[in-house]
A and B are shown apart, each in its own frame.
Chain A
Amino acid sequence: MSDVKVQKAMKQHMGLTASRRISNTAIYIVLTVMSVIWLIPFICIVLQSFRVESTWQVGYVIPRQWGWNNYVNLANTDFWRWYTNTFVLAILTAILQTVIVLCMSYTLSRFRFKMRKPLMKFMLVLGLFPGMMTMIILYRVLADLGLTQKNSIPGLLLVYVASSGMGYYVSKGFFDTISKSLDEAARVDGANRFKVLVKIILPLSKPIVIYTVLTAFMGPWGDFVFARYISMGTSAGKNVAVGMYDWLSQDQIGKNYTMFCAGGVLVALPVTILFLFLQRYYVEGITGGAVKG
Chain B
Amino acid sequence: MKRYSDLEYLRLSKLQKFLYRLESFFCSIPVAVWHTIKKLGLAIWSFIKGIGLGIAEVVTTFKNGSKPTRLSYVIMGAGCFAHGQILRGILFLLFEIVFIFYMVTTGAYWLSMLPSLGKLGPTKDYNVILDVYTTHYHDNSFKILLYGVLTIFFIIAFIYTWWVNIRQSKTAEQILASGKKLKSGRDDLRSLVDDSFHKTLLALPMTGILVFTVMPIVFMMLVAFTNYDGAHNGYSNNLFHWVGLDNFNTMLSWTSNTSSGAQSYAATFGEVLTWTLIWAFFATFTNYFLGMMVAMAINKKGIRFKKGWRTILVMTIAIPQFISLLYVSKMFAKNGLINNFLIDMKWIDTALPFFEKASWARVTVILINIWIGIPYLMLTATGILMNIPQDLYESARIDGASGWQQYSKITLPYMLFVTGPYLLTQFTGNMNNFNVIFLLTGGAPNNPAASNSAGTVGYTDLLITWLYKITMGAESQYYLASVVGIMVFVVVALITLVAYSLLPSIKNEEDFQ
Tell me the A residues contacting B by CB distance below 8 Å: 1, 9, 13, 16, 20, 24, 27-28, 30-31, 34-35, 37-39, 41-42, 44-45, 57-61, 100-101, 103-104, 106-107, 111, 113, 123, 125-126, 128-130, 132-138, 140-141, 158-159, 161-166, 176-177, 179-180, 192-194, 197, 218, 221-222, 224-225, 241, 244-245, 248, 253, 257, 260-261, 264, 267-268, 271-272, 275-276, 279, 282-283, 286-288, 290-293
- CA A38 to CA B308, docked complex, whole Å: 13
Given the complex, which residues of B lie within 8 Å of A293, measured CB to CB?
A: 421-422, 425, 506
CB distance from B411 to the nearest CB of A (A): 15
Given the complex, which residues of A lie within 8 Å of B35, measured CB to CB?
A: none
Other-chain residue from B197, B317, B342, B422 in contact with A291 (beta carbon distance below 8 A) = B422
Given A130-B464, A193-B197, A271-B319, also A16-B302 (CB < 8 A):
yes
CB distance from A1 to the nearest CB of B (A): 7
CB distance from A175 to the nearest CB of B (A): 9
List 21 A-B pairs, Cβ < 8 Å: A28-B303, A57-B333, A59-B337, A100-B205, A103-B201, A111-B198, A129-B485, A130-B432, A130-B485, A163-B212, A164-B205, A177-B512, A179-B513, A218-B320, A225-B468, A260-B327, A268-B320, A268-B323, A283-B383, A286-B376, A291-B383
- CA A276 to CA B418, docked complex, whole Å: 27
CB distance from A279 to the nearest CB of B (A): 7
Q: Are B208 and A194 in contact (CB under 8 A)?
A: no
Given the complex, which residues of A lie within 8 Å of B317, measured CB to CB?
A: 275, 282
- CA A37 to CA B368, docked complex, whole Å: 11
Q: Are A241 and B194 in contact (CB under 8 A)?
A: no
Given the complex, which residues of B lie within 8 Å of A283, measured CB to CB?
A: 379, 382-383
Is B167 an interface residue when CB atoms closer than 8 A count as contact?
no
Other-chain residue from B333, B341, B432, B435 in contact with A224 (beta carbon distance below 8 A) = B435
Q: Are B304 and A41 in contact (CB under 8 A)?
A: no
Given the complex, which residues of A lie within 8 Å of B18, measured CB to CB?
A: none
The 10 closest A-B pairs by CB, nearest first: A287-B383, A59-B340, A165-B205, A162-B208, A134-B216, A133-B485, A293-B421, A193-B197, A275-B318, A59-B344
Q: Are A133 and B208 in contact (CB under 8 A)?
A: no
Q: Are B220 and A133 in contact (CB under 8 A)?
A: yes
Given A128-B428, A293-B425, also A13-B315 (CB < 8 A):
no
Given the complex, which residues of A lie within 8 Å of B464, measured CB to CB?
A: 130, 132
- CA A271 to CA B315, docked complex, whole Å: 10
- CA A1 to CA B321, docked complex, whole Å: 26
Other-chain residue from A30, A134, A137, A222 in contact with B146 (beta carbon distance below 8 A) = A137
CB distance from A186 to the nearest CB of B (A): 12
Which of A59, A106, A125, A192 counts the most B-chain CB atoms under 10 A from its CB? A59
Given the complex, which residues of B lie within 8 Å of A130, measured CB to CB?
A: 432, 463-464, 467, 485, 488-489
Given A39-B312, A44-B331, also A222-B320 (CB < 8 A):
yes
Is B298 an interface residue when CB atoms closer than 8 A count as contact?
yes
- CA A207 to CA B496, docked complex, whole Å: 30
Q: Are A291 and B419 in contact (CB under 8 A)?
A: yes
Is B324 an interface residue when CB atoms closer than 8 A count as contact?
yes
Closest to B420 in A: A293
- CA A231 to CA B388, docked complex, whole Å: 49
- CA A161 to CA B212, docked complex, whole Å: 10
Closest to A284 in B: B383
Q: Are B344 and A60 in contact (CB under 8 A)?
A: yes
- CA A137 to CA B233, docked complex, whole Å: 12
Q: Are A165 and B206 in contact (CB under 8 A)?
A: yes
Given the complex, which residues of B lie within 8 Å of A28, measured CB to CB?
A: 303
Inter-chain residue pair count (beta carbon < 8 A): 260
Q: Are B209 and A286 in contact (CB under 8 A)?
A: no
- CA A290 to CA B323, docked complex, whole Å: 26
Given the complex, which residues of A lie within 8 Å of B204, measured CB to CB?
A: 100, 103
Closest to B493 in A: A128
Q: Are B471 and A136 in contact (CB under 8 A)?
A: yes
Q: Are B337 and A30 in contact (CB under 8 A)?
A: no
Interface residues of B, dominant DSSP: helix
- CA A197 to CA B202, docked complex, whole Å: 14
Given the complex, which residues of B lie within 8 Å of A30, measured CB to CB?
A: 297
Q: Are A241 and B322 in contact (CB under 8 A)?
A: yes
Which of A176, A245, A288, A292 counts the most B-chain CB atoms under 10 A from its CB? A292
Interface residues of A, dominant DSSP: helix
Q: Are B343 and A59 in contact (CB under 8 A)?
A: yes
CB distance from A190 to the nearest CB of B (A): 11
CB distance from A145 to the nearest CB of B (A): 12
Closest to B426 in A: A290
Which of A37, A132, A162 counts the most B-chain CB atoms under 10 A from its CB? A132
- CA A113 to CA B425, docked complex, whole Å: 26
Interface string of B443-461 (1 = CB under 8 A from A): 0000000000000000000
Q: Are A24 and B489 in contact (CB under 8 A)?
A: no
Closest to A241 in B: B322
CB distance from A264 to the nearest CB of B (A): 4
Is B330 an interface residue when CB atoms closer than 8 A count as contact?
yes
CB distance from A270 to the nearest CB of B (A): 10
Q: Are B323 and A264 in contact (CB under 8 A)?
A: yes
Q: Are A35 and B312 in contact (CB under 8 A)?
A: yes
Known: A130-B489, A159-B212. 12 other contacts (CB 8 A): A13-B302, A38-B312, A128-B428, A132-B485, A133-B217, A162-B212, A163-B213, A165-B205, A180-B513, A193-B193, A221-B322, A225-B434
Given the complex, which residues of A lie within 8 Å of B194, measured CB to CB?
A: 192-194
Q: Are B513 and A31 in contact (CB under 8 A)?
A: no
- CA A11 to CA B356, docked complex, whole Å: 48
CB distance from B364 to the nearest CB of A (A): 14
Is B160 an interface residue when CB atoms closer than 8 A count as contact?
no
Q: Are B208 and A128 in contact (CB under 8 A)?
A: no
Given the complex, which residues of A lie within 8 Å of B302, measured CB to CB?
A: 13, 16, 20, 24
- CA A123 to CA B206, docked complex, whole Å: 10
Given the complex, which residues of A lie within 8 Å of B489, measured CB to CB?
A: 128-130
Is B75 an interface residue when CB atoms closer than 8 A count as contact?
no
Q: Are A271 and B205 in contact (CB under 8 A)?
A: no
Given the complex, which residues of A lie within 8 Å of B496, measured CB to CB?
A: 128
Residues 253-278 of B at the A interface (beta carbon under 8 Å): none
- CA A282 to CA B342, docked complex, whole Å: 39
Given A103-B202, A193-B194, also A57-B208 (CB < 8 A):
no
Given the complex, which residues of A lie within 8 Å of B333, measured CB to CB?
A: 57
Other-chain residue from A57, A60, A135 in contact with B330 (beta carbon distance below 8 A) = A57
Q: Are A164 and B220 in contact (CB under 8 A)?
A: no
Interface string of B205-224 (1 = CB under 8 A from A): 11111011110110110010
Other-chain residue from A137, A194, A245 in contact with B220 (beta carbon distance below 8 A) = A137
Q: Are A39 and B197 in contact (CB under 8 A)?
A: no
CB distance from A187 to the nearest CB of B (A): 9
- CA A268 to CA B345, docked complex, whole Å: 31
Given the complex, which residues of B lie within 8 Å of A13, measured CB to CB?
A: 302
CB distance from B130 to the nearest CB of A (A): 30
Closest to B340 in A: A59
Given A272-B318, A291-B419, also A126-B213 (CB < 8 A):
yes
